[in-house]
Protein backbone atom coordinates (compact mmCIF):
# COMPACT_ATOMS: atom_id res chain seq x y z
CA UNK A 1 0.00 0.00 0.00
CA UNK A 2 2.83 2.42 0.81
CA UNK A 3 4.58 1.82 -2.52
CA UNK A 4 1.36 2.53 -4.42
CA UNK A 5 0.91 5.85 -2.58
CA UNK A 6 4.54 6.74 -3.34
CA UNK A 7 4.02 6.06 -7.05
CA UNK A 8 0.82 8.11 -7.09
CA UNK A 9 2.57 11.07 -5.45
CA UNK A 10 5.50 10.88 -7.84
CA UNK A 11 3.31 10.61 -10.95
CA UNK A 12 0.90 13.22 -9.58
CA UNK A 13 3.80 15.66 -9.17
CA UNK A 14 5.03 14.90 -12.69
CA UNK A 15 1.52 15.41 -14.07
CA UNK A 16 1.23 18.72 -12.22
CA UNK A 17 4.58 19.95 -13.56
CA UNK A 18 3.63 18.93 -17.10
CA UNK A 19 0.27 20.69 -16.81
CA UNK A 20 1.97 23.89 -15.61
CA UNK A 21 4.46 23.77 -18.49
CA UNK A 22 1.68 23.36 -21.03
CA UNK A 23 -0.42 26.08 -19.46
CA UNK A 24 2.55 28.46 -19.71
CA UNK A 25 2.58 27.98 -23.47
CA UNK A 26 -1.03 29.12 -23.65
CA UNK A 27 0.03 32.61 -22.60
CA UNK A 28 1.56 33.43 -26.00
CA UNK A 29 -0.55 35.88 -27.99
CA UNK A 30 -1.59 33.74 -30.96
CA UNK A 31 -3.09 36.70 -32.79
CA UNK A 32 0.26 38.31 -33.48
CA UNK A 33 2.58 35.33 -33.52
CA UNK A 34 0.49 32.64 -35.20
CA UNK A 35 1.57 32.47 -38.82
CA UNK A 36 -0.68 29.57 -39.84
CA UNK A 37 -3.05 32.12 -41.43
CA UNK A 38 -0.27 33.33 -43.74
CA UNK A 39 -0.61 36.90 -42.48
CA UNK A 40 2.50 38.89 -41.52
CA UNK A 41 3.20 38.90 -37.78
CA UNK A 42 3.39 41.97 -35.59
CA UNK A 43 6.95 42.26 -34.30
CA UNK A 44 8.50 44.20 -31.44
CA UNK A 45 11.80 46.06 -31.74
CA UNK A 46 13.57 43.21 -29.92
CA UNK A 47 12.44 40.75 -32.58
CA UNK A 48 13.88 42.76 -35.48
CA UNK A 49 17.25 41.14 -36.07
CA UNK A 50 17.45 41.48 -39.85
CA UNK A 51 17.67 44.65 -41.94
CA UNK A 52 14.40 45.80 -43.45
CA UNK A 53 12.83 48.45 -45.64
CA UNK A 54 9.67 50.36 -44.79
CA UNK A 55 6.88 49.70 -47.27
CA UNK A 56 4.54 52.25 -45.74
CA UNK A 57 2.41 53.32 -42.84
CA UNK A 58 -0.93 51.59 -42.36
CA UNK A 59 -3.87 53.41 -40.78
CA UNK A 60 -7.33 51.91 -40.38
CA UNK A 61 -10.28 53.72 -38.79
CA UNK A 62 -13.51 52.23 -37.45
CA UNK A 63 -16.45 54.13 -35.97
CA UNK A 64 -18.52 52.34 -33.33
CA UNK A 65 -21.76 53.78 -31.98
CA UNK A 66 -22.46 53.50 -28.27
CA UNK A 67 -25.02 50.75 -28.80
CA UNK A 68 -22.26 48.69 -30.43
CA UNK A 69 -19.66 49.29 -27.71
CA UNK A 70 -16.86 46.74 -27.64
CA UNK A 71 -14.56 45.79 -24.82
CA UNK A 72 -10.91 46.82 -24.93
CA UNK A 73 -9.52 43.39 -25.86
CA UNK A 74 -11.93 43.11 -28.79
CA UNK A 75 -10.67 46.43 -30.13
CA UNK A 76 -7.03 45.36 -29.80
CA UNK A 77 -7.80 42.07 -31.56
CA UNK A 78 -9.66 43.93 -34.32
CA UNK A 79 -6.80 46.41 -34.74
CA UNK A 80 -3.99 43.87 -34.92
CA UNK A 81 -5.93 41.62 -37.30
CA UNK A 82 -6.76 44.58 -39.56
CA UNK A 83 -3.11 45.68 -39.61
CA UNK A 84 -1.96 42.18 -40.53
CA UNK A 85 -4.53 41.91 -43.36
CA UNK A 86 -3.53 45.27 -44.85
CA UNK A 87 0.17 44.43 -44.56
CA UNK A 88 -0.44 41.18 -46.44
CA UNK A 89 -2.07 43.15 -49.27
CA UNK A 90 1.11 45.24 -49.49
CA UNK A 91 3.35 42.15 -49.64
CA UNK A 92 4.91 42.91 -46.24
CA UNK A 93 6.87 40.43 -44.16
CA UNK A 94 5.83 41.98 -40.82
CA UNK A 95 4.22 44.94 -39.05
CA UNK A 96 6.08 47.07 -36.52
CA UNK A 97 5.06 49.91 -34.17
CA UNK A 98 1.39 48.85 -33.81
CA UNK A 99 -0.95 51.26 -32.04
CA UNK A 100 -4.64 50.70 -31.40
CA UNK A 101 -6.58 53.48 -29.68
CA UNK A 102 -9.97 55.13 -29.56
CA UNK A 103 -11.48 58.58 -29.11
CA UNK A 104 -15.05 59.59 -28.32
CA UNK A 105 -16.75 61.70 -31.00
CA UNK A 106 -20.26 62.93 -31.66
CA UNK A 107 -21.80 62.54 -35.09
CA UNK A 108 -24.99 64.56 -35.18
CA UNK A 109 -26.96 63.43 -32.15
CA UNK A 110 -25.36 60.00 -31.80
CA UNK A 111 -22.26 59.69 -29.62
CA UNK A 112 -19.73 57.30 -31.07
CA UNK A 113 -16.18 56.11 -30.60
CA UNK A 114 -13.66 56.20 -33.40
CA UNK A 115 -11.05 53.44 -33.18
CA UNK A 116 -7.79 53.72 -35.07
CA UNK A 117 -5.14 51.09 -35.74
CA UNK A 118 -1.78 52.21 -37.11
CA UNK A 119 1.47 50.44 -37.84
CA UNK A 120 4.37 50.27 -40.28
CA UNK A 121 4.58 47.52 -42.90
CA UNK A 122 8.12 46.25 -43.52
CA UNK A 123 9.88 43.91 -45.93
CA UNK A 124 13.10 42.14 -44.93
CA UNK A 125 16.14 42.67 -47.16
Q: What CATH class has 34-124?
A: alpha beta
Flag whether pLDDT at 116 surpasses 70. yes
Give the sign of the dihedral formed by CA 10, CA 12, CA 13, CA 18: positive
Q: What is the rounded distance in angstroms from the CA atom of residue 19 to the CA atom of residue 86?
A: 37
For residue 107, list its beta bridge partners. Answer: 110
What is the arithmetic mean of pLDDT over 65-77? Answer: 67
- pLDDT level of residue 53 (50, 70, 90 thresholds): very high
The pTM of the whole model exceeds 0.85: no
> What pLDDT is recorded for position 20?
43
Alpha helix positions (H), 1-125: 2-25, 30-33, 72-89
Higher local confidence (pLDDT), 106 or 122: 122
Residue pLDDT, tens place only, 6-35:
544 555 545 544 444 444 433 334 444 555
Amino acid sequence: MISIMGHLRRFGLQALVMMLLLAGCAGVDSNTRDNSSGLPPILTQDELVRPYIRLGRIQITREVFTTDALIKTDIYDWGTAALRREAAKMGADAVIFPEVNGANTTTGLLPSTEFRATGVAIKFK
